[in-house]
Amino acid sequence: MTSVFVTIDTEYSSGLVTDLSDAGRRDNFARSISCDTPEGPAGISYKLKMFERYGIKAVFFVDPMPALVWGVAAVEDVIAPILEAGQDVQLHCHTEWLGLAGDANPLASKRTGQNLYDFPVEEQFEILQFARDTLVAAGAPSPVAFRAGNYGANDDSLRALAQLGLRYDSSFCPALPEASRISLTPEHRCPTLHEGMIEVPVGCIGTHSGGLRHAQITALSLDEMSSAIRHASDLGCPSFTLVTHSFELINRRKLTVNPIVRRRFAGLCRLLGTTDGVATVSYRDNPPLPAGTGPSPAPLQANPLRTGYRYAEQLVSNTLYGAL
């Protein structure tokens, strides 16, 4: 049985902040969390309903850093419906919010940075401690797993997380090795012990150029995702991690649904709810185990028809519905 981790990076957008008023917070929530559109919500409430319909367990990596500017209540509004639906809440962290926090920045140095790895290990510990404590103050159970915003972690991040008592990290993306500075290679595609943590890499498939492409809703077609999951199951891979975001089914600036991406998501939910040999799981109830020391199973190789269809689909998506 292959465990599929359906992970949702759930976050307000620091890039969409126009002011720090409560009205600004509500607008950001509507664009990044609830994703309110003329066709109805397409954010976390929609995803939660789809997960319930198909019996899917999911992991919501929730970023509590906006509490620096809008208070803990802003994070409570995100967490409450997820917990009510019985889904898993784990820790996410975008350090960009430190640049908006002013005197509320919890660091004595008031240092700011785009990624967690921009900070020395002592300050990473302070940031992560603040993020964990804020997540818990907003109603979440104490987290056991983490993903860095922008995948921007390094080995110091893992050491700090281990010191805080977390056990799992999913900040390493083999298809985007330049995004994080964790000292693993694209060959590390299965859960592995590293710096006191179990690192759970983001899933990927092969490309025609010999590289890898990450398993994100906006990066792969439905056929590619379904083929990758079946491939992992056929090879007996212990787990496969998919990534999406709370806002990926819409154009956030226009507040309109992207029907191509939403159709992918709906198809993925149907697939996960009906495919033998795979089970969706959470870090809380079915945590991943590290693989052995042997090489990771080969990723799904590129297929001209699947790749060509994705190129055509992405062209239509970007032309008609725009970027996120």
CATH code for the domain in which residue 127 is found? 3.20.20.370
CA separation for the pair 317, 52 (Å, rounded): 27
> CA-to-CA distance for 98 and 127, rounded, in angstroms?
9
Residue 19 is given by DSSP the state -
Integer angstrom CA distances of residue 163 from 92, 122, 126: 17, 11, 11
pLDDT at position 272, please? 95
Q: How far apart are CA 278 and CA 238, in angstroms?
A: 10
pLDDT at 273: 93
Higher pLDDT, 90 or 324: 90
* 274 and 55 Cβ atoms separated by less than 8 Å: no
d(CA 132, CA 134): 5
Residue linked to tokens 């967490």: 79
- What mean pLDDT do residues 13-21 have? 94
Look up tokens 């990758």; give the residue.
228
The answer to whether the beta carbons of residues 135 and 61 sit under 8 Å apart is no
> Which 8-state DSSP code applies to residue 73?
H
Question: How confident is the model over 263-267, as a mean pLDDT?
Answer: 97
Give the closest residue to 235 by CA, choosing from 282, 289, 295, 188.
295
* Parallel, antiparallel or unpaired: strands 40-41 and 36-37: antiparallel
Residue 293: band (very low, low, confident or very high) from pLDDT cuts 50, 70, 90: low
Confidence category of residue 1, pLDDT binned at 50, 70, 90: confident
Token digits of residue 217: 């809703």
Mean pLDDT estimate for the chain: 95
Q: What are phi and psi of 44, to 5 degrees?
A: -70, -35
Region of residue 210 (phi > 0: left; psi between -120 and 50: alpha; otherwise: beta): left
- Summarised one tens digit per residue, pLDDT across range 145-199 is 999 999 999 999 999 999 999 999 999 999 999 999 999 999 999 999 999 999 9
Percent helix, strand, coil in the chain (nearest 5)?
40, 20, 40
Domain count, the chain: 1
Report whether 72 contacts 292 (CB < 8 A): no
Residue pair 66/27 in contact by the 8 Å Cβ criterion: no
CA-based end-to-end distance of the chain = 34
Tokens of 210: 């010999």
Supply the pTM of this predicted model: 0.97
Beta bridge partners of 216: 243
How high is the pLDDT of residue 116?
Answer: 98
Residue range of the domain that includes 129: 2-321
DSSP 8-state class, residue 119:
S
The strand ranges marked E within the chain are: 2-10, 36-37, 40-41, 58-62, 88-93, 145-148, 168-169, 192-194, 197-199, 204-206, 212-214, 239-245, 250-251, 256-257, 278-280
Triad 59, 62, 68: Cα angle to 5°:
170
Mark out the alpha helices in the chain (DSSP H runs): 22-32, 44-54, 67-70, 72-84, 98-101, 121-137, 155-163, 222-234, 259-274, 304-321
Tokens describing residue 233: 């199951």
Mean pLDDT calculated for residue range 21-49 = 97
How crowded is residue 179: how many other Cβ atoms within 10 Å of its Cβ? Answer: 18
